[in-house]
């Protein structure tokens, strides 16, 4: 989340410095590599993640979100959409915990609502794709 916050604030030019950032801030090699991968992959898929967040919010523009909430939602959107090995409930619960720790009192409920809606959109889209692939679309 910290890496995504930095990317949002400073732009893509700091991508090459993320490994150094994680090296300085995380002693565990496996956690550091996973954090760097998620951060970079989220940034690479930023438009898809932002679109998923945008269509999952009601009357909220992405630009109105705090940078912390935006980072939490972007990481979770990436994990929901591109990390099938992570159970969606785990993704959402972890995002809520991050919001509790790093954001406002209202953020956990907001994050939960947005990610629940995002998961429904992903699930609906995946089931529609499977129907099309199997030739059973209406």
Domains annotated on the chain, with CATH? 2-134 (1.10.940.10)
Q: Is the pLDDT of residue 38 over 80?
A: yes
Q: Which residue has the higher pLDDT, 130 or 3?
A: 3
Q: Is the pLDDT of residue 66 over 60?
A: yes
E-assigned strands of the chain? none
Share of the chain above pLDDT 70, in %: 91
Q: Is the pLDDT of residue 82 over 90?
A: yes
Q: Do 94 and 116 form a contact (C-beta atoms < 8 A)?
A: no
Instruction: Give the 3-state secondary structure of residue 114.
Output: helix
Q: What percentage of the chain's residues is helix, strand, coil (to nearest 5)?
A: 80, 0, 20
Share of the chain above pLDDT 90, in %: 57
Give me the pLDDT at residue 137, please: 52
CA atoms within 13 A on the CB side of 15: 11
Give me the pLDDT at residue 62, please: 87
> How far is residue 120 from each of residues 14, 26, 85, 126, 127, measured CA to CA in Å?
33, 34, 18, 10, 10
């Amino acid at each position: 989340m910290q890496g995504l916050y930095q990317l949002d604030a400073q732009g893509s030019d700091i991508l090459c410095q993320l490994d150094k950032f994680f090296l300085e801030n995380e002693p565990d090699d496996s956690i550091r590599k996973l954090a760097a991968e998620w951060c970079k992959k989220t940034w690479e898929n930023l438009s898809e993640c932002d679109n998923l967040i945008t269509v999952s919010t009601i009357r909220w523009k992405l630009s109105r979100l705090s940078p912390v909430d935006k980072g939490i939602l972007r990481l979770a959107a990436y994990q929901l959409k591109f990390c099938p090995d992570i159970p969606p409930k785990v993704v959402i619960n972890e995002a809520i915990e991050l919001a509790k720790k790093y954001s406002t009192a209202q953020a956990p409920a907001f994050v939960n609502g947005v990610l629940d809606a995002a998961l429904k959109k992903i699930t609906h889209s995946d089931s529609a794709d499977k129907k099309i692939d199997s030739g059973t679309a209406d």
